Amino acid sequence: MSRAAPAIVILGNGSLITAQRIQQRYPDALIYGLEHRVEGADRTYSDFGATLRQLYQQDTPIIALCAAGIVIRTLAPLLLEKGVEPPVLAVAEDASAVVPLLGGLGGVNDLAREIAAALGVTPAITTSGELRFGTCLLNPPSGYALGDLEVGKRFVSDLLAGESVRIEGDAPWLARAQLPENPQARLAIHIGHAEREPAAHELMIYPRTVVVKVKHAVGAQVIREALHQATLAWQSLSCIIAAETLMASPQLHEAAVELGVPLRFVPADEQPVGPHSLVWQEQGEHLAIGIAPTPLDVSQIGRARGRLAVIGLGPGAAELMVPAVKAELARANDILGYETYVRMAGPFRNDQVMHCTDNREEMQRARHAFELAAQGRSVVVVSSGDPGVFAMAAAVLEALHESDNPHWHSVDLEMLPGVSASLATAALAGAPLGHDFCVMSLSDNLKPWSIIEKRLDLAAEADLALAFYNPISRSRPWQLGVALEIVARHRTPSTPVVLGRDVGRPAQTLRITTLGELTPDQVDMRTMVLIGSSTTCTFPRAHGADWVYTPRWYGEKP
């Protein structure tokens, strides 16, 4: 079965040798070592729990070299959320024990057997069916689909109770299992793509040997009906093939989701489609059906619709990254962005390609992202904070707007939001943006300084609280001072000011001051500047800096 490369997680140098022995068995696996404790790991982490949970949520198989109890307690909060889970194993740091913990349907016992064999020990397998038969009947290899999980479970318990079984059809992986086979058995495992009602005591396993090539966009029902007419089981469908011109069709995408198969695209004039072993038959006016003698490798047929997601990492801390962004990072083939942010978005697996560029090459990066996505890859462009706030989302749309390349316009493009620096900073201080506010970048790289001055003047006059991004930099040393002078025309020196630096990152600092005391040397390009309105106020909190908030009302308190 094909699966993602595992992550080998260790807490101390004492586990490194065992980790490396496991890595020899899985050369693509990365060793994650605890910061300051492990030397020579492929990746370091500082928070064991957060790292393990993130790997789990990204469907990465986990091999943790520590006590099983630690792994169980760490992942426990996530267990109820998840249907199919990645394999999770605990391995003793001296290589004496391999304990599969989670991911029975994800192949954890296979992994346990492989690791145990590599370490020369016996795996601690506790799944009765597997112990007896050496394979999980309920988890056929990729290329095959189990008919009915509940029937399967009953079937395994019948076998465990001592029944024998007949195997009808071609199941290469079962030949290796120690099933009690008997041609006269009451129980039968039937492997085939024909549509029929399973008989009593029959477990159906469907080889994914069938493809459907549609001539235009159709729904799932049309495809089901056509397969039924051809007496083919829909469970044997491996993919839907369509012309590239149909790539953005929502109807086809819905059909693929409903049937649980991928969509693959081929040039409109491509004949024949797919591997030579396919035998084609026309089925009505909408589609043709192809059948292969053995399960199909879908990745070899045409190409997928490419995806481009422009994501916001939030200010820095993993806890402030939205789950949709984490999932997107896990599925990405390519990750593009400014190097600092790409590193922040990691760690990545060996099969994921990082494209790090300079912070200023935004349009070039956006075009590169479309080129990769148009090849059918899953591409992520990273921004810090929110991608729509002085960041990559607008650059990506500008690149698309300028392009007449139909392949770029067919890409599945989505923006995934993040917690912007102004909001993360405001939350630390209390609620300085609790009423109307104005967000501005003080950078005059892409707009004239005169418009910045005008907007500052009007926003300050309008008594909006102000959030300044890009407040200052080495190439823009004087602008912040001028900006503060303009604001000071409309605000008193006692107006509260919040400075958040490296918010959500290890070096985070928060400073509460006033407009009168604020000087540009307290601010750098990693700082977010929030300036209160006339109603913004502060009061001491029990410990630490003052609370800052802007009341929800204006004028007379209601």
Q: Which chain residues interact with ligand SAH by CB under 6 A?
A: 315-316, 383-386, 389-391, 420-421, 425, 469-471, 500-505, 525-528
Residue 348 CB, shortest distance to ligand SAH, in Å, is 21
In order of 337, 362, 364, 378, the CA distances from 412 in angstroms are 19, 20, 19, 9
Residue 507 C-alpha from the chain's centroid: 27
Q: Would you state the structure tokens that stand for residue 155, as one six-digit string?
A: 């079937």
- Cα dihedral 325, 329, 330, 333 sign: positive
- By beta-carbon proximity to ligand SAH, the closer residue of 63 and 335 is 335
- By beta-carbon proximity to ligand SAH, the closer residue of 246 and 484 is 484
Distance, in Å, from the CA atom of 265 to the CA atom of 278, rounded to the nearest integer, reads 16
In order of 110, 246, 310, the CA distances from 375 in angstroms are 34, 15, 17
Residue 154 C-alpha from the chain's centroid: 35
Residue 385 CB, shortest distance to ligand SAH, in Å, is 2
- By beta-carbon proximity to ligand SAH, the closer residue of 287 and 336 is 336
Residue 316 CB, shortest distance to ligand SAH, in Å, is 5
Q: Would you state the structure tokens that stand for residue 61, as one six-digit string?
A: 């198989």
121-127-132 Cα angle (round to 5): 80
- By beta-carbon proximity to ligand SAH, the closer residue of 106 and 504 is 504
Residue 549 CB, shortest distance to ligand SAH, in Å, is 19
- By beta-carbon proximity to ligand SAH, the closer residue of 292 and 472 is 472
Dihedral of the CA atoms 457, 461, 463, 468 (nearest 10)? 0
**How many other β-carbons are positioned within 10 Å of the β-carbon of residue 279?**
10
Q: Which residue has the tokens 């949970």?
A: 53
- By beta-carbon proximity to ligand SAH, the closer residue of 391 and 413 is 391
Residue 108 CB, shortest distance to ligand SAH, in Å, is 38
Distance, in Å, from the CA atom of 108 to the CA atom of 114, rounded to the nearest integer, reads 10
- By beta-carbon proximity to ligand SAH, the closer residue of 121 and 525 is 525
Name the residue with the smallest CB distance to ligand SAH.
385
**How many other β-carbons are positioned within 10 Å of the β-carbon of residue 101?**
20
Residue 334 CB, shortest distance to ligand SAH, in Å, is 20
- Cα dihedral 463, 464, 465, 467 sign: negative
Residue 82 CB, shortest distance to ligand SAH, in Å, is 30
Report helix, strand or coil for 199. Answer: coil
Partners of 187 in the beta sheet? 165
- By beta-carbon proximity to ligand SAH, the closer residue of 374 and 391 is 391
Residue 423 CB, shortest distance to ligand SAH, in Å, is 8
